[in-house]
Amino acid sequence: MIDFDAFNAEIISTAAFGQEVTWIPFALPEGWISDPSIEGWISDPVTGEGFLAISGGTIVGVFDNGFLSVQGMGEVGVSASAPTLTCLTSAIISVARGDSIVVDTTTYYVTEMRPNGDGLTVLILSRDA
């Protein structure tokens, strides 16, 4: 049986294809309140609902910004980049849609998360928030 965790960790490592990127959690909505008595606790000023905020940090993944071309009707097509970051699922359990990923000096936003079932998750990124 294949140990996918060990196999994936070698591929994703910075010694192989991975690189360190900065993860920044989605910004809090305007008006949300930080409770100084509980570090990291924030709450909605209207409903009082709250949760513990995650501060972000560095994660390792394989970044790809491949070319994407879609042929439209007739001769005119549309092209764009298709940025993704492939990470160990266990390393990004707190990453969510709307979070920022900074690769080198470029900020991308997580628009979708696609776990493959074998311990890897592909984050679909966009330069638009």
Domains of the chain, start order: 4-126 (2.40.10)
pLDDT in tens, 50-63: 665 566 789 999 99
Distance CA 77, CA 71 (A): 4
- Percent of the chain, pLDDT > 70? 73
Distance CA 81, CA 26 (A): 23
Region at 5 (left for phi over 0; alpha for psi -120 to 50; beta for the rest): alpha
**Taking CA 93 as the corner, what is the angle to CA 87 and CA 97, rounded to the nearest 5 degrees?**
85
Where does the pLDDT of residue 21 fall: very low under 50, low under 70, confident under 90, or very high at 90 and above? very high
* Residue 53 DSSP SS3: coil
On the question of pLDDT at 40 being above 70, the answer is no
